[in-house]
Amino acid sequence: MVERLREQGIKDEVVLAVMGSIPRHLFVEEALASRAYEDVALPINYGQTISSPWTVGRMTELLRNGGINPLRKVLEIGTGCGYQTAVLAKIVNEVYSVERIGPLLTRTRIRLRELGIRNVHLKHADGIQGLPEIGSFDGIMMTAVIPEIPETLLAQLAVNGRMVFPKGSKKQYLCVIDHTLEGFVETVLDEVMFVPMLPGIINR
């Protein structure tokens, strides 16, 4: 998988090493485990999907930005099966991850504990407004698509912080927003395909 990611243009060796060290097959249902290392998005129940390895690699590489700014505290919106969360946990001091589907999060909580990952704080909530009570984040990653970033979320991005997310509706693009001293700077990148960010929570 790592070799293919390199061929597909993922250059950050830190990201590649981390992705090579996490057993991705443990994040999908057993029936799909044999396909876990292919470059495809796979179903993870409740109509959601685990992002493809390239997508995870690309988003993580963009968030890390070559390591020029320390990633102490990072917010992820859309925990899903927790693979991206586990990747973040290896390159960030503290990960806060929010998921709206309760049973998905319960399963992920167990999975991350079994993998010995302890620097992740999981929250069952609608994450679209972020976690204002936790304060500002060095990085914010969204793994579901939205048409526009809410102001309240932008306000949680620390100066020198970076946000990576898919933007759009029918056509979607990976976007980066950097919080610079001059303000917020947005860059539009690769075309992608994500499930939508939805309001409210699901308990069971």
d(CA 82, CA 24): 10
Task: Give yes or no: 51 in active site.
Answer: yes
Q: How far is the CB of 50 from ligand SAH (least distance, A)?
A: 4
The catalytic residue among 51, 52, 97, 136 is: 51
CA atoms within 13 A on the CB side of 76: 28
Rounded to a whole number of angstroms, the minimum distance from the CB of residue 132 to ligand SAH is 14
Closer to ligand SAH by Cβ: residue 77 or 112? 77
Q: Which residue number, 143 or 156, has a Cβ lying nearer to ligand SAH?
A: 143
Per rule CB under 6 A, count of chain residues that contact ligand SAH: 24
Query: In the block, which residue shows the tokens 């997310």?
Result: 165
Nearer to ligand SAH, 40 or 176 (CB): 40
Neighbours of 69 (CB within 10 A): 16
DSSP letters spanning 122-137: EEES-GGG--GGG--E
- Specify the pairing of strand 172-180 against strand 157-168: antiparallel
Among 19, 36, 74, 81, binds ligand SAH (CB under 6 A): 81
Among 58, 86, 87, 127, the residue binding ligand SAH under the rule CB under 6 A is 127
Q: How far is CA 71 from CA 3, 15, 78, 92, 183, in A?
A: 26, 13, 19, 5, 19
Does 128 sit near ligand SAH (CB under 6 A)? Answer: yes
> Per-residue x/- marks for ligand SAH, 96-115, CB under 6 A?
--xxxx--x-----------
Query: Cβ-count burial of 194 within 10 angstroms (0-12 exposed, 13-18 middle, 19+ buried)?
Result: buried
Residues that bind ligand SAH (CB under 6 A): 44, 48-51, 77-78, 80-81, 83-84, 98-101, 104, 126-128, 143-144, 195, 197-198
Residues designated catalytic: 51
